[in-house]
Amino acid sequence: MNRTKTALLGTLFCAFLVAGLPRAGAAQTASADKGALPPSPAQLWRQIRSLQHSQSMMPMTHAFQPGSRMVDVYTTDLSNQAASAAITAAGSIPDVTRYPNGSLLVKENYNAKRQLTGVTAMLKLAFYDAANRNWVMAAYSPVGKEVAFGQVASCDACHTMVSKSDFVFAPPPVQLLPAAVWKAFFPKQAMSPAYLALLAKYPDAVVK
């Protein structure tokens, strides 16, 4: 074999390596992610507890914001590092178009006496539920008893209204939903008068 031929083969081999490596890497990542199972409801509750302990507030939100119904007259939103970084980078909650995998958002619901009535959470998990932006949806009692978990159609049906911001709402008064929408989803839950007042005051904040 002459030198030119050897050099040519060497070049081809290197080209193959270069072209081949990223593909192999991507395939590995994909299969690893596909194999990643959602946490159990108990495991996710432990992640939520740790955000509660560290009072890891969702950026651009504050404790005891106005909620929509009497079960959530006040709400407090928490988020983990991945989700918080996405919001901070975008500059506002409505400006986040995609949350990275591993993002965790939590909403604590409080009644008028500021007693915790329930906790909802959404965790972004690669390949989990492509039609619903891969969010694992979960609802818990105040002490962590599972109320709903996984692909929860009712959660997705409402949160899809803000698909532009990857299913994540900004808290009142930035974004509001009409009372009729809340009633359709939660017919037995009375609305919070404070929320109705916000609807009257900020009609332009209603999500279309």
Residues in the interface with ligand HEC (CB under 6 A) total: 26
Supply the minimum distance, in Å, between the C-beta of residue 33 and ligand HEC: 22
Cβ partners under 8 Å of residue 34, min gap 6: 126, 127
Q: Is 160 left (phi over 0), alpha (psi -120 to 50) or beta?
A: alpha
Told to check if 107 binds ligand HEC by CB under 6 A, we report: yes
The two tokens of residue 196 are 């109705």
Interacting residues with ligand HEC between 64 and 103 (CB under 6 A) = 67-68, 75, 77
Selected from 44, 48, 106, 199, the binder of ligand HEC by CB under 6 A is 106
Supply the minimum distance, in Å, between the C-beta of residue 16 and ligand HEC: 47
Q: Are 16 and 8 in contact (CB under 8 A)?
A: no
Selected from 56, 120, 132, 192, the binder of ligand HEC by CB under 6 A is 120
Write each residue from 133 to 172 as x if it is in contact with ligand HEC (CB under 6 A), else as -, in one continuous string.
----xxx--------x---x-xx--xx--------xx-x-
Among residues 182, 201, 203, which one has the least CA distance to residue 191?
182
As a whole number of angstroms, the distance between CA 143 and CA 132 comes to 27
The two tokens of residue 120 are 């909802």
Write each residue from 22 to 61 as x if it is in contact with ligand HEC (CB under 6 A), else as -, in one continuous string.
----------------------------------------
Q: Which amino acid is at 65?
A: Q
Told to check if 199 binds ligand HEC by CB under 6 A, we report: no
